[in-house]
Amino acid sequence: MKPVHAILLVAAFLVSGCDILHVKQYCIAGVAPKSADSTRLKSVLQSVADQSGLRERTPDPDTTNVLFYARDDYEWGVTILEAGFYGDDVYLVLNGGFGTPPAYRKARRLLSATLEAEFGSRFSVSERRVQSQ
């Protein structure tokens, strides 16, 4: 095999081996830290995390405006759920890493349905799909 053919073959394997980085973003308007809505949101996130196999990893949830949940085993394709309060809104990011881990799929399904039921028109969602290189 000529070196040029070998290089083209390796390049084809690298390009075809790319995967999608799954990131789902949510926003809930009018949820200030330490409000009744904030308490409700934390309860919803804990329920979704429990059902999806995610565990709370927030250093001190009582003193911070950020919540963080992740899988116990930080293997390839780890699923992470973060929530941060900015002004009177809360922004959530669900990151499924590469591929579509089961925890990501379950959390995505549960979050959309539950947050929309709890917060109605104040809830919005956007999804970004980023091609890895």
56 domain-assigned: yes
| Single pTM value for the model | 0.73
The single-letter code of the amino acid at 108 is R
Task: Give the DSSP per-residue string, 30-93.
Answer: T--TTSHHHHHHHHHHHHHHHHHTEEE--S-TTT-SEEEEEESS--TT--EEEEEEETTEEEEE
Domain of 88 in residue numbering reads as 19-131
What CATH number does the domain containing 69 carry?
A: 3.30.160.110
DSSP code for 10 = H
The domain tally of the chain equals 1
pLDDT at residue 80 in the model: 83
Q: Are residues 40 and 120 in contact, defined by beta-carbon separation less than 8 angstroms?
A: no
pLDDT at residue 19 in the model: 52
Longest dimension (CA), the chain: 68
Percent of the chain exceeding pLDDT 70 equals 68
